[in-house]
Amino acid sequence: NPKKPIVISTWDFGVAANKAAWEILGKQGRALDAVEKGVQVAEADLSNPTVGKGGYPDRDGHVSLDACIMDEAGNCGSVAALEHIAHPISVARLVMEKTPHVMLVGEGALQFALENGFQKENLLIPSSEKAWKEWLKEKNYSPVMNIENKAFAAEKLPGNEYNHDTIGMLALDEQGNLSGACTTSGMAFKMRGRVGDSPIIGAGLYVDNEVGGATSTGVGEEVIRTVGSFLVVELMRQGYSPEEACKEAVMRIVKKKPDIAKNIQVGFLALNKQGEYGSYALQDGFTFAVCHAEKQDLIEKGKFHYQ
């Protein structure tokens, strides 16, 4: 039952982000504006320890953010390992709109942001600093699955505060145009300089206005290896439904790296040009939020491979 306009995004916290996107989409606004406004909600949410301000730092204590955005014309912009700026998605959009480049990283991305009026802030809040100091005691880097899903984490992973988190959002507007955005602080306690899939066009996000869009969450290394979001979109081009395309991309990870795949989470989310959507994940626990004219706060559970 396809819908238009529609916006979907990863994890339960996508509900609040979708609502902000809907304020634009519901008034015949542009999908690009909707996805930027939408993911800004997650970036600003201090209770969310892995997107934007309040995100967990790298293992040396630096909060370093990755984000990208893509519009209906195939324009895209991205920042990686950006520090001190609370809304990396908006810097990514400016890279897209104001520079001849697609991607700026680290110091150069910060310089560009400051030159364009963004304020430098301390993104390491006390609760994240505390979690990092706790982590330093053992220095055990093992990405925990699904902690983004609070209900799942409470039941299955009590007391586990180390996590990773990404918001990926896809929107189809009244005019039938697609855009997407993806933003994260990446894997908690990653190595300094580590870049995940989220700011990489084709890995963490891809949009093709003829076909659809896809985004991913989970352990980015496996998504980069398989160019996951591009794969999902190309499979939809060949006639796969959004869910079938996401499943095939998940199975590619299983096939290439079965030993790794068993112990990590990766989830894909896709939306096609008709407003049909679907998802698939390696493991149980992946959720996504859906918002359209009839219902703005739907949470759906992703299908998954390992039963």
Query: Known catalytic residues?
Result: 166
Residue 306 CB, shortest distance to ligand SD4, in Å, is 17
Least CB distance to ligand SD4 at residue 197 (A): 5
Q: Collapsing DSSP states into helix, strand and coil, what is residue 248? A: helix
* 198, 226, 279, 283: which one binds ligand SD4 (CB under 6 A): 198
Is the C-alpha dihedral spanning 297, 276, 178, 283 positive or negative?
positive
Q: Is 220 marked within a binding site?
A: yes
Indicate whether 166 belongs to the interface with ligand SD4 (CB under 6 A). Answer: yes
**Is residue 222 within 8 Å of 281, Cβ to Cβ?**
no
Q: Measured from the CB of residue 58, what is the shortest distance to ligand SD4 in angstroms?
A: 11
| 72 is a contact residue toward ligand SD4 (CB under 6 A) | no
From CA 208, how far away is CA 198, in angstroms rounded? Answer: 17
Q: Is 219 annotated as a binding residue?
A: yes
Q: Which is nearer to ligand SD4, 18 or 48 (CB)?
A: 48
Query: Does the protein bind ligand SD4 through residue 14 (CB under 6 A)?
Result: no
Contact call for residues 296 and 19 (beta carbons, < 8 A): yes
Residue 52 to residues 9, 120, 255: CA-CA distances in angstroms? 16, 13, 33
List the x/- string, 203-242, binding to ligand SD4 by CB under 6 A. --------------xxxx----------------------
Contact 10, 156 (CB under 8 A): no
218 is in an annotated binding site: yes
The token pair at 77 is 């912009």
In 99-203, alpha helices (H): 106-115, 126-138, 150-156
Contacts with ligand SD4 by CB under 6 A lie at 148, 164-166, 184, 186-187, 196-198, 217-220
Q: Which residues are annotated as a binding site for substrate?
A: 194-197, 217-220
